[in-house]
A and B are shown apart, each in its own frame.
Chain A
């Protein structure tokens, strides 16, 4: 257990409303990632962070923003949710200081988001 929690675990919202998903880690990993999972697409990277206040875009970043103000928390925000953003969102972490590999990612339990 890599000590990752996601909140909320389930959320239903309406089109046009803002939504923020939270990823929290307890083990001081340097890198944090947000993915979305959709049938037929596997997991696709939305944004990632390589340190506090250091973030970069992934493959499907349009319509999403992120923030990381402290090591343990990585927030994903949908500024104005659309039905195409209905998905399961996973947070992942990697890069434990002194660990064996910066590439091995550990995943949270996921957040199921439905946009009506």
Chain B
């Protein structure tokens, strides 16, 4: 079955530490890939997206993600986390480049000062 998996429900990191959030997908062809962030009580904001080309994509707020076809992964990274990065992060895919998104269940990030 087609799916998007975010294996970590909660992650806690110290401010200034590096961060990697995992996302794996299960689709026949390379889908379009997205990372969104949601602060408490807010809507979702797009961090970055991958459609094709360079497998390392840069996004807003210092985030980047790397597409690895062999691992069916699209992990989100940040070299140094700030307290304001505490939020919930969602990976999403658009299978076959279509217009419907399928979301993972989210990873809640806590930042310790």
Contact = CB atoms under 8 A, between A and B. Distances in A.
Interface of A: 31, 33, 40-45, 48, 50, 58, 90, 92, 94-95, 101-110
Interface in B36-90: 36, 42-46, 49, 51, 90
Given A42-B104, A103-B94, A104-B49, A31 B44 contact: no
A103 B51 contact: yes
Contact of A109 (B42, B100, B101): B42
A26 B100 CA distance: 21
Contacts of B44: 43, 90, 92, 107
Nearest to B104: A42
Contacts of A50: 99
A107 B43 contact: yes
Q: How many B residues touch the partner, as a band?
A: 20 to 34
Interface of B: 32, 34, 36, 42-46, 49, 51, 90, 92, 94, 97-106
Q: Classify the secondary structure of A's interface with B.
A: strand
Contact of B97 (A94, A103, A105): A103
Nearest to B97: A103
B43 A90 contact: yes
B43 A108 contact: yes
B43 A101 contact: no
9 contacts: A42-B90, A43-B90, A45-B100, A45-B102, A103-B32, A103-B49, A103-B98, A103-B101, A109-B43
Given A43-B90, A90-B43, A90-B44, A102 B99 contact: yes
A101 B99 contact: no
Contact of A58 (B34, B98, B100): B100
Contact of B103 (A42, A103, A104, A108): A42
Given A42-B105, A42-B106, A101-B49, A48 B42 contact: no
Nearest to B100: A45
Nearest to B6: A42
